[in-house]
Every structure is written in C-alpha cells, then in structure tokens.
Amino acid sequence: MIKQQDCIALDEQDPLAGEAGKYYLPEGMLYFVGNSLGALPLAAAQRVASIIRDEWGEELVSGWNKAGWYSSPTRVGDKVARLIGADAGEVTVTDSTSVNLFKSIIAATGLNPQRRVCLTDRKIFPTDLYIMQGIEELLGDRFTLKAVQRNRIADAIDDDLALLVLSHVDYRSGDIFDMQDITHRVHEAGGLVLWDLCHSAGIFDVRLNEVDADFAVGCGYKFLNGGPGAPSFVFVAKRHQKQINQPLTGWMGHADPFAFNESYESAPGIRKMLCGTPSVIAMGCFEAALDQLLPVSIAAIREKSTKLTRLFIDLMKERCAGFGFTLISSENDAIRGSQISYTHENGYAIMQALIARNVIGDFRAPDCVRFGVAPLYTSYMDIWQAVGTLKTIMETEAWQEFQAQNMADVT
C-alpha cells in the first residue's frame, strides 16, 4: 500500500521541486489540466506588463526594430527548436496549430504531386481531421484523405502515400506513437510525415532531426505554458524548405515585405511559413515561458511525468477500484504521455464534483475523464490528494447532484 508519507518523501527528493514556485496557481487548487492550458509562469506576467508599458507604450512603431518584434517569429522559433530536436532556422512561431496544419499539409503534399493520399488516425484530435477534410474539399481529386484506426496505420503505409499526419501523443488516452519507427517506414514507402506535437513539446525529449522528420506543428499553450491562445510553432526540415509552397501567401512570408512589390515571392527559409503580422504581446508571453523552461532538463521532466502518472494509476487501483473507472491510458510507462484517462459512465458529473472541490481535471466526450500532470508544478502530494478526493466523491455519491447539469461550452 502506498502511504501519504511515501508521497511526501517523493516530493522531498524531487529534483524539479524548485520549479513550482515559478508558476502561479490559485491557493488550494490542484490543477490537472496543464495538458490543455498550462499554468501562468510568473516571468510571463512581468514580461507582458513590460512589453505593453515599455515597448508598445514608449517605443511605439519603432518597437518593430528596436524591441525585436519583427524578428520574433524566428527568434522564438529557434528557442522552440531546442526543445524538439530541430536546428536553428527550422522552426517559426506564428498563427494557431490549426492554421499551421493547413499550410504545412498543403506544402507537404505539394512536394509529391504524383501521389494524393493523406493518411491519418481517424481518432486524431478533431481539428487536424477537420483541416484535412477542408483541404480535400479545396483540392478535389488532388487530395484524398484516408482516416484509419490507430492500429491500422502501419499497414496502411504504401506506395500511394503522399503524407502521413499523426499526433505523437493521443489527446484522449495519452498513448504515444513510435516516431522513429513510423517516420522510417513512411520514408521507405516514399512518403512524408507531419507530426503534431501539441501534447509532446515540453514533456518529451522529441528529436525531430534524429528521426529525420519532415514537418511538425504544435501549440504554445499546453505544456509550454505560453498562455491562452499562444501562437503555435511549425517545423519544416531544412531539406524541404526551398521546394515547398504554402498557400497563405501573406506579406510576412515574402522575401522582402518592405519592398512592397506587386508580386509574391516567398522568403527563402522558414519565414516563408509566415502569413501576417505577428501577435507581439502573445509572442512575448510565450517567449518568457520558454526562457523559464529552457534551462530545465527535459529528461528530468519526462522522468517525473512518468513517475507522477504511475503513482496516479497505482493509487487509483488501491483506493478507487470497484467504482467503475476503466483506465484507457497505457500501463506501459514507455508509451504513456503526461496524462491519465479513465472512462466512466458518469464521467461528466464526477468531474464536476471534483472541480467543485478544487481538483481541476477535464472531460472529453463521450465518457472520458482526463488528468494531465505537469512535472514543473504538479507534486506527488497533489496526486495523493486528488485520488483521495475522488474516493470520497465516489463513496458518498456526491457526484449525483451534478448529474442533471448541462455541459458547459468548454469541458
């Protein structure tokens, strides 16, 4: 049996224990949604205040040069590159993940016009699917979407494949695809791969260039703590940058925006993935979050993430068995992301009862309760307390009072 004292001891020995104080969380809140919206880095609050007052306020339009606003998409991109195993000049920060998916998928499939199949996991995060459906509508018979079950992906890689789009970590279960193996198989078949790193960046030691990845995207607001709606990142391997064309040919992706030429000519490098003017305040917030994260060892983060999710699973077995929860995350530490998910027929009401007691997880329809762990600010004792609260809710059936409630807009 795991005891409270064991969790206290794990916190005392935690090499990342010093990080939590650099993030703001409301008093008494146990926060398990860092995989959806990361907590506020204290340094980001200061940076944003300074950008507004000292840069926008004092420098006004000269901020584009003097404060480095113009170069921010590639400067911040180079910082993200260090977290995902890419080189400088291969990543830029701009737009949302959805928009970057649109640009990258069209750019990637354009590299191999003889092939038209775009393969994906049919249970991939819906925005990825919707964007591919929209592209199919737009490109007609030049693009055929093939969405298959997760366990059929490997079999579906064949000589027709132009592009495989996969989320490295599944948003529902947290299961991980083997990036190296899959990328290799697709290359053998003559295709390309786009990795969605939304649930990986900042948690895994992702090594895009080591696995020879082609394209990648990911958001800034989950484990990277860049703030609600933070700009997202897009990676294009150096070897593809010259040949690709992306469809949103705005002036910021032009070779010389301030020449004000009448015809579009794309920038030579990663800047060609840009479209319009960067969102400077949001970018500054994200950059401050990255500056705080970059000195921390990703290996230590991944190790703690695995131990936290392991503890969650083990405590649930000991304390919440028999309450009808079915674990859908992998028991295998090596293929489990930084979250634990269970299905339960009363999942929504149970989660509302937890939230009412300041244990914040989330719910994914139809019946999945999720608990993300963020090693920078989640402690072992947080998990001890969360599982204890859940046990009380189940024993007392306190969730019943939430059963008739309508779902909120954001679950």
Ligand X SMILES: *Cc1c(COP(=O)(O)O)cnc(C)c1O
- Residue numbers annotated as active site: 125, 196, 221-222, 370
Closest contact distance (angstroms) between CB of 276 and ligand X is 16
Place of tokens 């993200």: 80
Min separation Cβ 206 and ligand X, Å: 14
Instruction: Tell me how far apart the 2 most distant CA atoms of the chain are, in Å.
Output: 72
CB of 66 to ligand X, least distance (A): 30
In whole angstroms, how far apart are CA 27 and each of 14, 157, 253, 297?
21, 50, 44, 27
Exactly one of 50, 96, 209, 389 binds ligand X (CB under 6 A); which one?
96
Contact letters for ligand X, residues 207-226 (x by CB under 6 A): ------------x-------
**Nearer Cβ to ligand X (16/105):** 105
Contact 72, 226 (CB under 8 A): no
Residues that bind ligand X (rule: CB under 6 A) add up to a total of 13
Residue 56: closest CA among 284, 275, 286, 258:
284
Single out the residue of 14, 55, 196, 382 in contact with ligand X (rule: CB under 6 A).
196
B/e letters for 47-60, b = 16+ CB within 10 Å, e = fewer, are bbeebeeebbeeee
* From candidates 167, 241, 266, 292, binder to ligand X by CB under 6 A: 167
Is 156 exposed, middle or buried, given 0-12, 13-18 or 19+ CB atoms closer than 10 A? middle
Are 185 and 215 in contact by the 8 Å Cβ rule? The answer is no
Contact flag: residue 128 with ligand X (CB under 6 A): yes
Q: Which of 97, 379 has the CB closer to ligand X?
A: 97
Closer residue to ligand X (CB): 106 or 198: 198
Output 97 or 292, the one with its CB closest to ligand X.
Answer: 97
**Contact with ligand X (CB under 6 A) among 23, 69, 143, 171:** 171
Distance from the first to the final alpha carbon of the chain: 33
- 97 in contact with ligand X (CB under 6 A): yes
**Contact range with ligand X by CB under 6 A, out of 196-204, 266-274, 278-286, 362-370:** 196-204
Q: Does 362 help bind ligand X (rule: CB under 6 A)?
A: no
Q: Is the peptide bond before 366 cis (omega within 30 degrees of 0)?
A: yes
Convert 208-248 into a string of H (helix), E (strand) and C (coil).
CCCCCCCEEEECCCCCCCCCCCCCCEEEECHHHHCCCCCCC
* CA pair distance 119, 19, nearest whole angstrom: 40
Q: Measured from the CB atom, is 55 or 128 closer to ligand X?
A: 128
d(CA 309, CA 340): 6
Among 125, 177, 195, 223, binds ligand X (CB under 6 A): 125
Q: With respect to ligand X, which residue has the nearer C-beta, 197 or 315?
A: 197
Binding positions for ligand X, rule: CB under 6 A: 96-98, 125, 127-128, 167, 171, 196, 198-199, 219, 232
